[in-house]
Structure 1
Amino acid sequence: MTFLNTADWQGRIFSGGWAKGSGEPYDSVEPATGKTLGRVGAATPDDLDRAVAHAVRAQRAWAALPYVDRAQVLRRAAALFERHQAEIAEWVVRESGALRPFAELQTSHGSAEECYEASALAAAPFGEVLRSVEDRLSFSRRRPVGVVGVISPFNAPLVLAMRAVAPALALGNAVVLKPDPRTSICGGVIIARVFEEAGLPEGVLHVLPGGTDVGAALVDDPRVPVIAFTGSTRAGKAIATAAAQRLKRVHLELGGNSALIVLDDADLDKAVSAGAFGSFHHSGQICMASSRHLVHASIAEEYTARLAERADAAPVGDPMKGEVFLGPMIDQHQLQATHAIVSATLAAGARLAAGGTHEDLFYRPTVLAEVPLTARAYAEEIFGPVAPVVAFNDLDEAARLAADTEYGLSLGILTRDIGKGLALADRIPTGLVHINDQTVNDEATVPFGGVGDSGNGSRHGGIVPNLEAFTEQQWVTVRSEIPAYPF
């Protein structure tokens, strides 16, 4: 019997165990082949209402457990991710189109590490003694928020859900997870199975694949005080607007238009390799992707030529069959959106140095040279395997170009002069900075998040951001006896 035995979950949602959802089950489709991987159970707003009611009840008992008991569940979950890495990674490869190394990273390194870090979070100090002018003991303590709603994306569906699910559970909350419908098996069913096997009490986690109506109901439900959302800026703004009507907290990790700045003293061959990875990894379907290559004018032509050579040489195909550098894009909508940006940018005057074509859902890695600053590939998030190159003449121009965006997620600066790189980074608003690396980086132990249209700051990773995200601070005072008042 496999870990993900289809007889357990096909056509079902996970809410108080595996149950039939009120929605019509749908096919999960492998983007590389178009084959059906399985029938996914679908939830409706009515299912969401029942799930939240169940989660509210279950959360009280879960939060009342000793922290060591919660930590043990998270450690068992981590061990399950490690033990079943091969099987889980295959589902990630097939359903999301990821290459196997990226799928394995999401499993053993990503999700397992999220659980291990969360298990330690359960034992973190959760309050402090405060000074008071009164004769009393005064202290603060952190309490779980109650029920956390998690809405996760398709591009790295397992780890981007787990980075919210794991710490929220560890801190004593219940979780209602709505995965992206396109990746509900690897971003939902797997998580449900792991925590079911790890001994999480029934009702503490609910996994509800469904449409936007289910997500809207989750955001609107007054019993869910915190929403953790990873996805597009457009959707994130809509969620923030709706959540504001309920005065609930939202943790938004949104899109990006991140710059990779290549200074004239950089090792050119290594810079080209880093730039190719930053733009083409997972077919560019990463919020932190190197979306704009800002290259010193003295090396821009050679950089572009070498980048185009790597793009032309990169094998593209089904990641389940042989060694490829790029797999498929998730669906026709995403592919056509990418191709429209490339076509519009070429029409605006850019030069096609490599790529720009596709077969089925396999889009060739694309390099655009001499990109006008008004072109779509420069001004917008692409979310496809496209590397627009723009030349700059000095550090002032590099800083101005890099900051010339509404986004602020990640920044890469390639230079032999570390001090120069750090000084340049100080001039560019961004949530993440990587000197001598491309823009795609993440670890379970670090504060992660962007500014501007990339989100509302660091809301994931590390002790402090997770405590801030998934707990409320409560002030408590204790006196030895009731004081006398003048009434």
Structure 2
Amino acid sequence: MTTVTTNLTARAAELLAAMGAEVPEGGDLTAISPITGEPLARLAADDAASVEAKITAAHEAFATWRTTPAPVRGAMVYELGQLLRQHKAALGELVSIEAGKIRSEGLGEVQEMIDICDLAVGQSRQLFGLTIASERPGHRMMEQWHPLGVVGVISAFNFPVAVWSWNAALALICGDPVVWKPSENANLTAIATHALARQAAEAAGAPVEVVQLILGGREVGEQLVRDERVALVSATGSSRMGHEVAPVVAARFGRCLLELGGNNAAIVAPSADLELAVRGIVFSAAGTAGQRCTTLRRVIVHEDIADELIERLRAAYSTLPIGSPLEESTLVGPLIDQRAYEGYAAALKSAVSAGGTIHAGGSRVAADEHPDAYYVEPAVVELPEQVELMHTETFAPLLYVVRYRDFDDAIAMNNAVPQGLSSSCFTLDVREAELFTSAAGSDCGIANVNIGPSGAEIGGAFGGEKETGGGRESGSDAWRAYMRRSTSTVNYSTELPLAQGVTFG
């Protein structure tokens, strides 16, 4: 256990000031660092009137922003990318302080923001439609993409700023204002990011009203979800949250982009490079203290190599430095709060009751003089079969191991859970690799071979199927979610032929 850093309150205030952020102090919201479990600041939440005012401001700004040329809109996102480069160290450290990520992951999250800004700036000149051959002489038919409207973004604590940027960078170049409701566990990082976004708007001559931030609890999020002026709600969180959000938005014929639960597996085949597999497994399972939606939660290993893999995992887990994420040597930081720890402990108990064997970890680690901080040993638990417990996502560093004999059975086990975000397969057999990534293979939105399920790049569309929600963010053609499609036909002839040979007259 590395030393827990103290005086985080003063350091967080310094970082916020360095980024030009003004903190609305004195309210009922408490920003807490999971590093120590102690308060960083007390913040004023938005009330119903201020939420209404901010949505109204965004909606009114849409009238101007949607007619601004897309490359000009891209100039604002360019400025945001430059500011993020300038403040990468400060924002990355604030992510570590408020979300508990180790330093390299905090910095990596900001780099991900920079990367999506770069992608979006280029995309602002490539919002392509189609020219379609018309069956009618003297007619030209085309498909165009137009701005959609206000985009509401609800983000989770585990990627407190990157997920906002995935949505905001694309939404802004598409002509959509963004109203952001961050996690209650990550308000300070949101305040800092929002300040940089406003500075970027001013530098680019864009209306600052196109970016809005609302702070608060469930009632604030519900108001955002219900508002008919919010054309798209992009929500990241649990599948339970998605079940609540989606019907409300659908009832008013709005759009949803959902990034929900993950319960990700790695198949380890007999031909696998075990050294490579162990490195991929340990990072994917223990990184971010198991609090990624793409965290590896299940290893499905061939029975012929299971004992060797488990022994290698046991050895690797015994060397993981646990402690303050601000210490350079740390690889595993804290869980976000007490509820996360209780979920971890309860799942371990259930796994043992189901016949599981704990091969590594499983205990809480003392955090010196900070009893309200929750550090745990990443755990490896072997189960005799894929029991019902494994169908539930536990947001903690808890890795289940089960054995398989036939590769088709391994794929079936991968697909048996209700979530469908990410998956991976370690194999040197080209047939297994191709089958795993084929239509008959993994049913997840992400299917990797010889890398773990976490660590997605922004160039590819990110998201999953089934209870993961079906949304796609970041690269590829994810920009289309933030626009509406219009098919137009122009008749430049002097005749009026009808389609399908219909005559009327």
What CA distance in whole angstroms lies between the structure 2 residues aligned with 1:138 and 1:433?
37
Amino acid corresponding to residue 321 of structure 1 in structure 2? E
Residues 47 and 320 from structure 1, CA distance in 2 versus in 1: closer, same or farther, beyond 3 angstroms?
same
The SS at the match of 1:229 is: strand
Note if 1:387 corresponds to 2:388.
Answer: no
Amino acid corresponding to residue 461 of structure 1 in structure 2? S
- Larger deviation, residues 26-35 vs 282-291: 26-35
- Please state how far the C-alpha of 1:134 moved relative to its aligned partner: 6.0
Q: Which of 293, 318, 329 is the matching residue for 2:324?
A: 318
- Please state how far the C-alpha of 1:483 moved relative to its aligned partner: 7.1
Q: Which runs of 5 or more structure 1 residues have no equivalent in the other structure? A: 13-19
Amino acid corresponding to residue 225 of structure 1 in structure 2? A
- Please state how far the C-alpha of 1:310 moved relative to its aligned partner: 1.5
What CA distance in whole angstroms lies between the structure 2 residues aligned with 1:3 and 1:323?
22
Residues 29 and 43 in structure 2, CA contact (< 8 A), matched pair in contact too: yes
Equivalent in the alignment of 1:369: 382
Q: Deviations over 1:331-366 (max 9, x none)?
A: 111111121111111111101111111134101110
Equivalent in the alignment of 1:442: 456
Q: Deviations over 1:350-384 (max 9, x none)?
A: 011111111341011101023442252x2211111
Residues 418 and 435 in structure 1, CA contact (< 8 A), matched pair in contact too: no
- Please state how far the C-alpha of 1:8 moved relative to its aligned partner: 4.6
Map 1:20-169 to 2 at 5 A: 24-108=27-111, 110-132=112-134, 133=136, 135-169=138-172
Note if 1:264 corresponds to 2:307.
Answer: no
Note if 1:180 corresponds to 2:183.
Answer: yes
Equivalent in the alignment of 1:330: 336
The SS at the match of 1:182 is: coil
- Please state how far the C-alpha of 1:484 moved relative to its aligned partner: 7.8
What CA distance in whole angstroms lies between the structure 2 residues aligned with 1:40 and 1:118?
32
Amino acid corresponding to residue 465 of structure 1 in structure 2? A
Amino acid corresponding to residue 342 of structure 1 in structure 2? L
What CA distance in whole angstroms lies between the structure 2 residues aligned with 1:298 and 1:45?
60
Equivalent in the alignment of 2:259: 253
Q: Which of 375, 387, 406 is the matching residue for 2:418?
A: 406
Residues 402 and 484 from structure 1, CA distance in 2 versus in 1: closer, same or farther, beyond 3 angstroms?
closer
Residues 268 and 300 in structure 2, CA contact (< 8 A), matched pair in contact too: yes
RMSD in angstroms over aligned alpha carbons? 2.1
Equivalent in the alignment of 2:9: none
Q: Deviations over 1:164-188 (max 9, x none)?
A: 11100111110101000100121x1
The SS at the match of 1:203 is: helix
Note if 1:461 corresponds to 2:474.
Answer: yes
What CA distance in whole angstroms lies between the structure 2 residues aligned with 1:313 and 1:4?
35
Note if 1:420 corresponds to 2:422.
Answer: no
Q: Which of 2, 16, 20 is the matching residue for 1:4?
A: 16
- Please state how far the C-alpha of 1:292 moved relative to its aligned partner: 0.5
- Please state how far the C-alpha of 1:150 moved relative to its aligned partner: 0.6
Q: Which runs of 5 or more structure 2 residues have no equivalent in the other structure? A: 1-12, 366-372, 498-503
Q: Deviations over 1:81-114 (max 9, x none)?
A: 1111111111000000001111111112x00111
What CA distance in whole angstroms lies between the structure 2 residues aligned with 1:443 and 1:5?
31
Equivalent in the alignment of 1:17: none
What CA distance in whole angstroms lies between the structure 1 residues aligned with 2:355 and 2:493?
79
- Please state how far the C-alpha of 1:463 moved relative to its aligned partner: 4.2
The SS at the match of 2:352 is: helix
What CA distance in whole angstroms lies between the structure 2 residues aligned with 1:400 and 1:8?
49
Residues 289 and 334 in structure 2, CA contact (< 8 A), matched pair in contact too: yes
Residues 3 and 84 in structure 1, CA contact (< 8 A), matched pair in contact too: no
- Taking CA–CA contacts closer than 8 Å with sequence separation of 6 or more, which of the two structures ends up with the larger relative contact order? 2
Equivalent in the alignment of 2:500: none
Amino acid corresponding to residue 193 of structure 2 in structure 1? I
Amino acid corresponding to residue 261 of structure 1 in structure 2? I
Residues 375 and 308 from structure 1, CA distance in 2 versus in 1: closer, same or farther, beyond 3 angstroms?
farther
What CA distance in whole angstroms lies between the structure 1 residues aligned with 2:470 and 2:276?
33
Number of residues of Structure 1 aligned to a counterpart in Structure 2: 472
Q: Deviations over 1:46-85 (max 9, x none)?
A: 2221111111111121222222321111111101111111
What CA distance in whole angstroms lies between the structure 2 residues aligned with 1:116 and 1:8?
23
The SS at the match of 2:178 is: strand
What CA distance in whole angstroms lies between the structure 2 residues aligned with 1:284 and 1:189?
25
Residues 390 and 330 from structure 1, CA distance in 2 versus in 1: closer, same or farther, beyond 3 angstroms?
same
Amino acid corresponding to residue 444 of structure 1 in structure 2? I
Equivalent in the alignment of 2:466: 452
- Larger deviation, residues 248-257 vs 194-203: 194-203
The SS at the match of 1:180 is: coil
Equivalent in the alignment of 2:490: 478
TM-score (norm 1): 0.92
Amino acid corresponding to residue 122 of structure 2 in structure 1? A
Equivalent in the alignment of 2:5: none
What CA distance in whole angstroms lies between the structure 2 residues aligned with 1:273 and 1:126?
41
What CA distance in whole angstroms lies between the structure 2 residues aligned with 1:482 and 1:342?
76
- Please state how far the C-alpha of 1:274 moved relative to its aligned partner: 1.3
Equivalent in the alignment of 1:350: 356
Amino acid corresponding to residue 122 of structure 1 in structure 2? S
Residues 55 and 341 from structure 1, CA distance in 2 versus in 1: closer, same or farther, beyond 3 angstroms?
same
The SS at the match of 2:301 is: strand
What CA distance in whole angstroms lies between the structure 1 residues aligned with 2:423 and 2:98?
30
TM-score (norm 2): 0.89
